[in-house]
Structure 1
Amino acid sequence: MNINFARTRETMVEQQVRPWDVLDIRVLDTIGALPREAFVADALRNLAYTDTALPLGHGEVMMKPVLEGRCLQALLPQAHESVLEIGTGSGYLAACLGRLAREVISVELHADLAEAAQARLTTQGIGNVTVRCADAMTWNPGRSFDVICVTGAVGQIPTRFMEWLNPNGRMFIVHGQSPLLEATLVHRTVNGSRIETLFETDLPYLVGAAPTPTFTL
């Protein structure tokens, strides 16, 4: 079956992303221009624009388009800003961030996913995104960023992530107890931080970031 991906992408924007209150024109233009099908396995290309999370291997998923849109709109990276993405996955969200920001460093735990994502980014001509294979729970970037985008859930917001934010920086992160997790925007302020709750969702946890299981008798 031959799919008109350009038309399908336009339908996704108009019928999925925009109705979920993603209205920023830069975000919509970015999602509308990037070929999402180029960032998924060949066997899943026909599902690239469906309202579902797609498996990537290692227990990771490519987020639903609506969640990606809300994430981008919450962060709204500007053309002069630096971005750290934790959890590269397919590389699609990193590509979107790269279209919006000055530079993106994206960290991926699994070497095969990191390599594939970097190859896809190169094929799409996105040269301001660098993928690094590392464990974000132990890795140290040696610098700070204006924007941090965390694509996997955490039980509690790691202090180390907060330390990587520039003053007045912001971080999108999903935390709590699955399946009712809170997507939040964390603002770094002069006096510490401020957390803005956005919506409820569910995502796989980052490796090493799941909450400690509790047992009741």
Structure 2
Amino acid sequence: MVAQQIRTCDVLDERLLERLREVPREDFVPKNLRAAAFADTPIPIGRGQVMFAPMLDARLVNALALTPDDRVLEVGTGTGYVTAVMAGLARLIHSVEIIPEFKLRAAVSLAAQGVANAVLEVGDAARGFGRHAPYDAILVSGALPLGPDAHFRESLAVGGRLVVIVGVSPAMEARLIVREDADRFSERSLFETDVPVLINAPQPKRFYF
């Protein structure tokens, strides 16, 4: 997976690549779909949600440029796979999941891997989650059609990075937002993609004639 899929999309951070080798992705995939664990395709996990393809997971985490001292907010725990990957790269992961059964299953999988620095919570973080702010990095694992609410930006520490997918299918793009100082943010487009919309994310207004 690392050699054939991830290195080919310019994910070259050796700490991240090593972590991707260490975490057994197949242990986080629904049992009936384990044969597809390393396929370059999203995997359905129930309730209309998916586990992103390995390449997309890697590119999103790579853009965060995590360091060992970082405190991270993950919006959308899902299976816990990305949680486990980031837990080996940062000091502490706060992961918020709106679907209680997903949180419970992810907790079991993370415990089986010995991950002790990830705190899982049930909650709706579609408009931000400032409970443990400030964060050094935030990853939103679902699309926000209107872009991130201001609460996401304000929850970043100075120097903090927010990676989010913005837009409406099929025209979505991953973006990196960096808090340069108390009042100034920079933003750049990373790549195009297409993923499910985050549950309860604000939607653009629709006009009917």
Shorter-chain TM-score bucket reads: over 0.9
Counterpart-to-counterpart distance in 2, 1:157 and 1:202: 16
Counterpart-to-counterpart distance in 2, 1:30 and 1:137: 28
In the alignment, structure 1 residue 88 sits paired with structure 2 residue 80 = no
Q: Which residue of 1 aligns with 2:131?
A: 141
What is the TM-score of this pair, normalised by structure 1?
A: 0.91
Letter in 2 for 1:39: F
Q: Which residue of 2 aligns with 1:180?
A: 171
Moved segments of 4+, more than 4 Å: none
Unmatched 5+ stretches in structure 1: 1-11
Q: Deviations over 1:75-119 (max 9, x none)?
A: 121101110000000100000010000000000000000010011
Counterpart-to-counterpart distance in 2, 1:207 and 1:105: 18
Counterpart-to-counterpart distance in 1, 2:175 and 2:18: 24
1:27 to 12, 16, 31: 16
Counterpart-to-counterpart distance in 2, 1:83 and 1:189: 17
1:154 to 141, 144, 163: 144
Counterpart-to-counterpart distance in 2, 1:79 and 1:54: 30
Letter in 1 for 2:92: E
Structure 1 residue 189 displacement after superposition? 1.6
Counterpart-to-counterpart distance in 2, 1:173 and 1:103: 20
| Alignment map for 1:68-87 (pairs within 5 Å) | 68-87=57-76
Letter in 1 for 2:60: C
Q: Which residue of 1 aligns with 2:189?
A: 197
Counterpart-to-counterpart distance in 2, 1:119 and 1:211: 33
Counterpart-to-counterpart distance in 2, 1:29 and 1:216: 51
Unmatched 5+ stretches in structure 2: none
Question: What's the C-alpha RMSD, in Å, of the aligned pairs?
Answer: 1.3
Counterpart-to-counterpart distance in 2, 1:185 and 1:137: 17
Letter in 2 for 1:214: R
**Alpha carbons of structure 1 residues 56 and 22: separation in structure 2 relative to 1, 3 Å:** same
8 Å contact from structure 1 (residues 153, 210) kept in 2: no
